[in-house]
Structure 1
């Protein structure tokens, strides 16, 4: 016992209360886990409430709580479920250490005396506001109402009966239903626009497709009490609807159905599901409403939806950058990586054991399909700058040339040379980054046509700058998740730090901000005090000068141009007609 003085005070205050009032008696005890408890018999209006007050180990910095000794009893509307503690005047949100257990007992008596008065019972107003999450804790079956889904429902005429399709995901502690499509006036199913495609297609989710019906009627505004399938059928029949397609049996088993009732107002929305099986069961879904306080992306970020980003290397850095860009508003991706996710990669990778053995490009594409509704991802498992089919590598490079921004997340100098040449040829901005082996720092860089030197010039300036510094304690880590000569020793947070900085640099580049948030082309970033870094988060910008993006027009003479054109024309004439 850390505070025997407080313990003695608590006992004295309870004893004073018993001497002053005839409605309470107490007995002190230890719980099975060693906590101090007080068994209370509180007499109110002729009834004895057998309760127990528990002092948590954090008392007096958090309040004791009073609950029924019989865990099946529900005493009050201000109680956290049957057998749960009472919600009294003093709670974790307004608790002060000077309040005693005796004060809590008085508060419990006051609450129950008011609510349980045999002649003049009163509702005690609640000063406690539950969060949305607290309100969901007792509901394992939930229906997620999205803004676009609600708009689809409200667009249906009154009265009407319409087909729908759902996707139900079984996850820890909850069975969550999503409305994925609603039939229009021509009975053609229309996709709900703000549901990510991965809800129905992702290999990471146990998603079950479902069918059902939406009934719009003013009867729903009355929110009739529906606690069984028979009650549902009766309500719909009284409203004039046909109900033949609701309860369907095949081979003696009831078929799953989702039923939505909606009147004029959204507040009338009720969602039910009929479970498949031998027994007819109707279950109500708790509606999870879209939040009015959701953080929205800036107007500037809306431009990102039209930009196609090519990311080469979906290892620890590239995977984090891809997901972060999608959350920021990028909707079009080309992902290139020939490698698969190994079990050892999971210590720093954005993906998990659910994707081990899967090609990284395909697995990250699957992850992006769950980030936003309109993400479009192309993938390639071709290996650039390695032993690969020339046709496959050429196809990947051609596809990369159609991107608006390139990101090299490989830390592979051969890949960088290819991307640098591609960027210069097609005047495409290029961003890249590195993690320093040992996890003490990293580097981010970019080259933008017309604003920075070309990528090779930026790289050369960076290496020239490094040559002026003391030797680094460990060499740069190449191929973070591949066959590097020296394993990268770094925490996920270290990689995430550099990946987040590279993402910010890429967003600034994609948006063509002027003035830019990043006035330099190269930055050295510190995670701890080491090498040239004096402290964590020490940032060293590098001034870069070098060659531009212009092609050397003098290298090709007019005679060569004419000769090449003549040969191409002859080749074209010799082609077989289609």
Structure 2
């Protein structure tokens, strides 16, 4: 009754309009009621349409007149119209959520309901009331528990199978609160040829944090499946398969012990139309046949990424530091097309990390490299990830430290996401020695701003020169109100943790990701004409407003070329090595003495 207290004049108008309508027509009886449980105001309606009494209720939502009224059967088991949201649901009338106007009254809604029922339920020749709106695919799928994802590669394999064929298939099923989702992962033909679906992430097909169950069944392909009548039982399914001329003897198998159906998934594919129907035969239900909503891949010409993202797939990116900044960058790069990663971190995910980290409670207690690897493998297929549980510039065995840096030296771009000066020096040295582009960034504690930076071989100064030039620039500015956010080397009990919102870190991380992609693609001319950008998130320090961006031109020493050794020097080194090996061999004691 909130709306009545707020708009008493509107209540008076509603009463007047309803009374007027009931006097004008002979098919309507109304009475007001207050629902005891919610104290909501409701109108009980009896409408006589073609001799039948439709007992309905018209509800006034608490925020009326800013939300639509609804009319539905008083008996929740009744369905009156094709324009009704399910059995017992509201009628879909001329005025709805998508075209509602506050001036519409209850009398208008009742007239609309009467016209709908009068047209659709004409005894001799029922009329058709055309739909004036359409549900999205998501809306129409709300009550569908069983769903199936058919990827482009799976569809490509199916299309290449023989026109009249039956092949064994394997699936992986994921279970969640919203339903069961199946992924077809491989096919096995009669000649034992196996076709593996390659565009599904290994996080789906392998071990992961998700509740994942393997399944099996059959895919049947025939022209007869181009148009399939309604299949509501196992018997219907067997009949349709038999009529297509395909073997159905092992489709519905009864377990000798339980005397119930063994679980099978059956996919029917129409040759000409490409229509896909999927069913599951289960043992736990009185209605053992379940039909899936099949979700097909988008058209080949539907692109969600710029065309040049394909150039990223062959490049390898090294990310050192998988905290709040590094985790967001890694996930975004995988979505952008990067398929090869080297990820480096020594820490595990703690509860206090969750305020800004891209991972969740499901990964707390796991080392970040393992958890990020798992997260990446749930985003994209065919990833190559080298996960190094290692602390750059930390106390590690020398061989392990050397191997980690050697692995990073084989990347096409290096990212320092630690905000740790010692780590920066190590990564910068590798980048400089091997002429690898390097990007880095940090968020200033307090979340008022941050920076993104890069150094490209033979285009920008070398990484250390970029950093030193930037510090020179800072020395000429007023002192910053806050220091940089702590790097990953700061112990939790040593200093007060850095304060910043996840949105602050996300803004800098995504800005840095854009800079990384520009660098990897070698965009010409680059969208980022200078190596360093200070990005403000509020009016503070040198920033005059949110999103105030300060490009910083950098001067400094370039990238040194490693001189190719002369042939004489190489020969001299080889000769010396042979001499040393000969001396070592001569110095060994005789094992027979």
TM-score by length of 1: 0.95
Corresponding residue to 1:12 among 12, 16, 19: 16
- C-alpha deviations, 1:8-46, integer Å up to 9, x for none? 111111111100011111111223323321111111111
Quick check: 1:409–1:434 contact (8 Å CA) kept in 2?
A: yes
Quick check: 1:202–1:366 contact (8 Å CA) kept in 2?
A: no
**Inter-CA distance 137–479: structure 2 relative to 1 (3 Å threshold):** same
Q: Does 1:465 align with 2:473?
A: yes
**Inter-CA distance 119–552: structure 2 relative to 1 (3 Å threshold):** closer
RMSD of aligned residue pairs (Cα, Å): 2.2
Q: Does 1:509 align with 2:519?
A: yes
Q: Does 1:198 align with 2:203?
A: yes
Q: How many angstroms apart in 1 are the aligned matches of 2:310 and 2:97?
A: 42
Structure 2 counterpart of 1:447: 455
- C-alpha deviations, 1:186-208, integer Å up to 9, x for none? 43222223222211125221111
Q: Which moved more, 1:216-225 or 1:532-541?
A: 216-225
Q: Which moved more, 1:124-133 or 1:220-229?
A: 220-229
- Equivalences for residues 218-237 of structure 1 within 5 A: 218-237=223-242
- C-alpha deviations, 1:170-218, integer Å up to 9, x for none? 1122111111112357432222232222111252211111111011122
Corresponding residue to 1:76 among 64, 77, 81: 81
Structure 2 counterpart of 1:23: 27
Q: Does 1:434 align with 2:427?
A: no
How far residue 229 of structure 1 moved from its aligned partner, in angstroms, is: 1.6
Q: Which moved more, 1:154-163 or 1:234-243?
A: 234-243
Q: How many angstroms apart in 2 are the aligned matches of 1:147 and 1:82?
A: 37
Quick check: 1:339–1:482 contact (8 Å CA) kept in 2?
A: no
Structure 2 counterpart of 1:269: 276
Where 1:306 maps in the other structure, the secondary structure is coil
Quick check: 1:315–1:481 contact (8 Å CA) kept in 2?
A: no
Q: Does 1:110 align with 2:120?
A: no
Structure 2 counterpart of 1:531: 541
Where 1:367 maps in the other structure, the secondary structure is helix
How far residue 317 of structure 1 moved from its aligned partner, in angstroms, is: 0.4
- C-alpha deviations, 1:120-148, integer Å up to 9, x for none? 11221111200010110121111122222
What residue ranges of structure 1 are gaps of 5+ in the alignment? none
- Equivalences for residues 61-72 of structure 1 within 5 A: 61-72=66-77
Q: How many angstroms apart in 2 are the aligned matches of 1:280 and 1:28?
A: 42
Structure 2 counterpart of 1:137: 142
Quick check: 2:225–2:268 contact (8 Å CA) kept in 1?
A: yes
Q: Does 1:240 align with 2:245?
A: yes
Structure 2 counterpart of 1:212: 217
Corresponding residue to 2:506 among 479, 487, 496: 496
What residue ranges of structure 2 are gaps of 5+ in the alignment? 586-593
How far residue 267 of structure 1 moved from its aligned partner, in angstroms, is: 5.5
Quick check: 1:202–1:370 contact (8 Å CA) kept in 2?
A: no
**Inter-CA distance 570–14: structure 2 relative to 1 (3 Å threshold):** farther
**Inter-CA distance 520–168: structure 2 relative to 1 (3 Å threshold):** same
Q: How many angstroms apart in 1 are the aligned matches of 2:111 and 2:17?
A: 11
- C-alpha deviations, 1:209-257, integer Å up to 9, x for none? 1111011122222303322222222222333322333233263253221
- C-alpha deviations, 1:266-291, integer Å up to 9, x for none? 45321001124597812111112334
**Inter-CA distance 279–44: structure 2 relative to 1 (3 Å threshold):** closer
Where 1:365 maps in the other structure, the secondary structure is helix
- Equivalences for residues 90-101 of structure 1 within 5 A: 90-101=95-106
Structure 2 counterpart of 1:288: 295
- Equivalences for residues 173-184 of structure 1 within 5 A: 173-184=178-189
Q: Does 1:367 align with 2:375?
A: yes
Q: How many angstroms apart in 2 are the aligned matches of 1:28 and 1:389?
A: 81
Q: How many angstroms apart in 1 are the aligned matches of 2:175 and 2:571?
A: 67
Quick check: 2:420–2:488 contact (8 Å CA) kept in 1?
A: no
Structure 1 counterpart of 2:6: 2
Corresponding residue to 1:147 among 130, 145, 152: 152
Where 1:524 maps in the other structure, the secondary structure is strand
Quick check: 1:435–1:443 contact (8 Å CA) kept in 2?
A: yes
Structure 2 counterpart of 1:257: 264
Quick check: 2:486–2:497 contact (8 Å CA) kept in 1?
A: no
Q: How many angstroms apart in 1 are the aligned matches of 2:320 and 2:500?
A: 21
How far residue 58 of structure 1 moved from its aligned partner, in angstroms, is: 2.5
Quick check: 1:88–1:108 contact (8 Å CA) kept in 2?
A: yes
Structure 2 counterpart of 1:86: 91
**Inter-CA distance 72–334: structure 2 relative to 1 (3 Å threshold):** same
Quick check: 1:480–1:488 contact (8 Å CA) kept in 2?
A: no
Q: How many angstroms apart in 2 are the aligned matches of 1:456 and 1:332?
A: 26
Q: Does 1:378 align with 2:386?
A: yes
How far residue 558 of structure 1 moved from its aligned partner, in angstroms, is: 10
How far residue 265 of structure 1 moved from its aligned partner, in angstroms, is: 3.4
Quick check: 1:255–1:277 contact (8 Å CA) kept in 2?
A: no
Structure 1 counterpart of 2:588: none
**Inter-CA distance 302–98: structure 2 relative to 1 (3 Å threshold):** same
Structure 2 counterpart of 1:477: 485
Structure 1 counterpart of 2:334: 326
Corresponding residue to 1:346 among 310, 330, 354: 354
Quick check: 2:94–2:112 contact (8 Å CA) kept in 1?
A: yes
- Counting matched residue pairs gives 575
Corresponding residue to 2:322 among 306, 314, 324: 314
Q: How many angstroms apart in 2 are the aligned matches of 1:255 and 1:24?
A: 55
TM-score by length of 2: 0.92
Quick check: 1:316–1:481 contact (8 Å CA) kept in 2?
A: no
Q: How many angstroms apart in 1 are the aligned matches of 2:60 and 2:294?
A: 36
